Structure 1
Amino acid sequence: MDDIEIPQYFICPISLQIMKDPVTAITGITYDRDSIQQWLSTGKNTTCPVTKQSLLADSDLTPNHTLRRLIQAWCTTKGVDRIPTPKSPLHKNHILKLIQDLWVPQLQLKSLKKLESLAFENEITNRRYMVETGVGKATVSLIVRCFREARTDGLDGALNVLHCLKIPNDEVKLLLTENYDFMDSIIWILEQEMDNHEQVKTNTVIVLKAFIQAASSNLLERLKPEFFQVLIRFFKGGISQEAIKATLHVLLEACPSGRNRVKIIQAGGVSELIEMELSMPEKRITELILGVLDYLCSCADGRAQLLAHSAGIAVVSMRILRVSPAANESAVRILSSIAKFSGTSEVLNEMLSVGAVSKLCMVLQADCGENVKKKARDALKLHSKVWNNSPCI
């Protein structure tokens, strides 16, 4: 098709590709539906890309059937693959009917499969309609009901649908208020054995991550010790990297609360995080692990757990200047906390022997942020008498 000249008015002004589903905006400009919907879906773009006039919603888009037929006829004439006739736009009443069917036992699985299919069929319009008509609320209620009735049928479908939807944070907060045991439901799911085990568990922690990020500080304060115990055990299950990252995000969101740090430490979080870093060093995972450890090492018990691990200081030191500025900052803060609050003779000698002191010296000479250099400098000055005879000093 590269050597065929395409009429200019067949080409979308955004994608610069031939239009498959042309729609005309109220400004009079025609675009391919997917392109203009993608343009408007970000929330930042509220104008017509060509005229710069206000264009607030894709409800202002009118299918251009005449142009579509012209394009299809041209494709046939030129021997180009004919673009298919697009499906009719999804109607909200259809989604409402599927929501009603969720509560009819014999129709529930069929309804979930249809909702999942609609979510993947059109990631912009369909998903937005699904959120607006209450699919998120319905699937959350279904998940909680399964938890209360201790049954797993339908859970994988509900989680798939919920995973697809981008529910606004305000609505998530409302859902958590109305379903106070939703977090318990999610943790319960992580403990269950189900078909398609890895995908279900991955979707579960991704949903948990989205809800935790929108949760209020009061809800985060009320998370139970069992919540963190299950998450820490979850690390050992051989799950996907996507699930590990989501779980680490959950821990990171919970860590600003001092109570949660204690709960994570008591669940053996520090040693498990070190073991994970030793087993699968990957840039983003390392950043998240060091970020969580940074919080946990602000507590005496967290530092004690890190020092009790034979590779604790070594693995933190090794990651400095090898991963990213964010990892540098977290790792230097961890070593600084250890030097300041747990600097026994044995610990200081270990920091010297595993290269932690050398790395702190290297930070002073590297292209690091001033705050990171200050932390490293303060730690070095604090124990300069002990380390003064070291070659690295």
Structure 2
Amino acid sequence: MRRDDLYITVPSLFRCPISLDVMKSPVSLCTGVTYDRASIQRWLDSGNNTCPATMQVLQSKEFVPNRTLQRLIQIWSDSVARRQLDAESAAANLSVVPSQEQVKVLVKQLDNNCYSSLEKIVSFAKESEENREFLATMDGFLDTVFDFMRNADSDIKLIEQVVKILDLILSKVSEKKPLLESSCLSTILLVLQRGSLDSQIQSVRLLESIAAVGGESKLKLAEKEGLLTELVKSISKDKDPRLIEASLSCLIAITMPKRVKTKLIQFRTIPELKNLISEPNTSVSTIEKSLKLLETLSSCKEGKAEIWHDSVLLQAVVQKVLKVSSKTTEHAVTILWVVCYLFRDEKAQEAVVSSNGMTKFLLLMQSNCSPAVRQMSADLLKIFRVNSKSCLSSYDTKTTHIMPF
């Protein structure tokens, strides 16, 4: 099967009538016709008041997300991606993986026929742990790779190959500081902005590995112009689920310093997290990571303020208590404890009560949850003035030592 064959047949139902591209966010007008959100929004913003397909005058310019069609497009897209991966794997298996001696020659010849040489080195690295260890410790190899990374003007396809190699071997590299250089970060940012989906995911994983170097590395990543903004864009609910999950992990790794938290809040991270938490088809792992990041952002005053002012977000957080997983419950309860108990905001408390939060906290008190979650639930119930005959009467709610941050 040729690679091009994977893209020939696209169901016409999946194409936007305006752009003719596969719809990323299908929405339906009052006429019943479905368009991609970005295309129809541009049409309406241009002053048009008709349905582009039928030319009927619109009685309302409101549109409704077509969730069923979006799910069908996602299923089709995943199927195409799997077929492409199988085809690429089959093609890769037909090629001969170079030996260690051949790799040494390829590294020396990187200035000539670079793309082909890098491709062969990637196949060598994918083959085994031993090969990855060999590349990580090979004299001069990392210097050559870092030189590529410093040249942000290089062809994007070449840079993608370099990112693939680094993604494969970085866990075996002890000296990662060269990647913190501004020129190297610019190259990673370029891949994140313009690369293929796989290379975007690999670049995000690189950033997460760099963040693990230490506190200084987190600040350098946050201070790199455009980097945090691009990572926040990558957690938009319309992005590929794999990219979303990788980006959430990266943001969690970066977001410990207070300065980074403040920047992320300014870049509208919390609304993106609300969208992910509220989306019914979000995976367990993505919900856990979204709530973990939201919990981290709630530990600074700007984060608390934004969360307590958003009753819809608070209700979405309450809905995750005792659902999805124990990690989800722990992160959700901690967020609610911060804004309702520590911060004592009445509006936030009302939003939690209206979402049946009291019942959930009572159930948690009787469940097999962790001591910290049980204690926070007791504190929250006390705030909500549960009467003294309740199950709380046997609990001492001294919490000065239970700071979750």
TM over 0.5: yes
Contact 1:332 1:375 in 2 (8 A): yes
Question: Which residue in the other structure is 2:179 paired with?
Answer: 176
Deviations 1:139-159 (A, max 9, x none): 3331231x2x26424122112
* 1:1-393 matches, cutoff 5 A: 90-91=99-100, 93-102=101-110, 104=111, 106-120=112-126, 122-133=127-138, 134-145=140-151, 147=152, 149=153, 151-168=155-172, 170-172=174-176, 174-176=177-179, 179-192=181-194, 194=195, 197-213=196-212, 215-222=213-220, 223-224=222-223, 226-236=226-236, 238-279=238-279, 280-384=281-385
SS in 1 for 2:226: helix
Residue 332 and residue 88 in structure 1: after superposition, are their counterparts in 2 closer, same or farther (change >3 A)? closer
Deviations 1:313-366 (A, max 9, x none): 111111112122222221111000111244333222111101223222221111
Question: Which residue in the other structure is 2:46 paired with?
Answer: none
Contact 1:198 1:239 in 2 (8 A): no
Q: CA deviation at 1:188?
A: 2.9
Cα distance in 2, alignment partners of residues 203 and 369 from structure 1: 35
Moved more, 314-323 or 260-269: 314-323
Structure 2 letter corresponding to 1:268: R
Structure 2 letter corresponding to 1:274: K
Question: What residue ranges of structure 2 are gaps of 5+ in the alignment?
Answer: 1-95, 393-405
Cα distance in 1, alignment partners of residues 97 and 261 from structure 2: 51
SS in 1 for 2:156: coil
Structure 2 letter corresponding to 1:257: P
Identical positions, percent: 20
SS in 2 for 1:171: coil
Deviations 1:173-224 (A, max 9, x none): x4336x35433332232222x4xx22221222122222223x2211212322
Question: What residue ranges of structure 1 are gaps of 5+ in the alignment?
Answer: 1-86
Contact 1:232 1:269 in 2 (8 A): yes
Cα distance in 2, alignment partners of residues 323 and 218 from structure 1: 35
Q: After the TM superposition, which parts of structure 1 deviate over 6 Å for at least 4 consecutive aligned residues? A: none
Structure 1 letter corresponding to 2:266: Q
Structure 2 letter corresponding to 1:221: L
Contact 1:261 1:296 in 2 (8 A): yes
Deviations 1:50-72 (A, max 9, x none): xxxxxxxxxxxxxxxxxxxxxxx
Instruction: State the Cα RMSD in Å.
Output: 2.7
Q: CA deviation at 1:272?
A: 0.6
Cα distance in 2, alignment partners of residues 232 and 107 from structure 1: 36
Contact 2:167 2:205 in 1 (8 A): yes
Residue 168 and residue 186 in structure 1: after superposition, are their counterparts in 2 closer, same or farther (change >3 A)? same
Structure 2 letter corresponding to 1:220: K
Structure 2 letter corresponding to 1:186: I
Structure 2 letter corresponding to 1:203: Q
Residue 158 and residue 124 in structure 1: after superposition, are their counterparts in 2 closer, same or farther (change >3 A)? same
Cα distance in 1, alignment partners of residues 259 and 305 from structure 2: 17
Residue 238 and residue 155 in structure 1: after superposition, are their counterparts in 2 closer, same or farther (change >3 A)? farther
Contact 1:136 1:165 in 2 (8 A): no
Structure 1 letter corresponding to 2:104: L
Deviations 1:10-52 (A, max 9, x none): xxxxxxxxxxxxxxxxxxxxxxxxxxxxxxxxxxxxxxxxxxx
Residue 170 and residue 128 in structure 1: after superposition, are their counterparts in 2 closer, same or farther (change >3 A)? closer
When Rg is computed on C-alpha atoms for both structures, the one with the higher figure is 1
Residue 208 and residue 344 in structure 1: after superposition, are their counterparts in 2 closer, same or farther (change >3 A)? closer
Cα distance in 2, alignment partners of residues 273 and 143 from structure 1: 31
Contact 1:271 1:309 in 2 (8 A): no
Contact 1:99 1:111 in 2 (8 A): yes
SS in 2 for 1:343: coil
Cα distance in 1, alignment partners of residues 367 and 384 from structure 2: 21
Moved more, 326-335 or 200-209: 200-209
Cα distance in 2, alignment partners of residues 349 and 237 from structure 1: 28
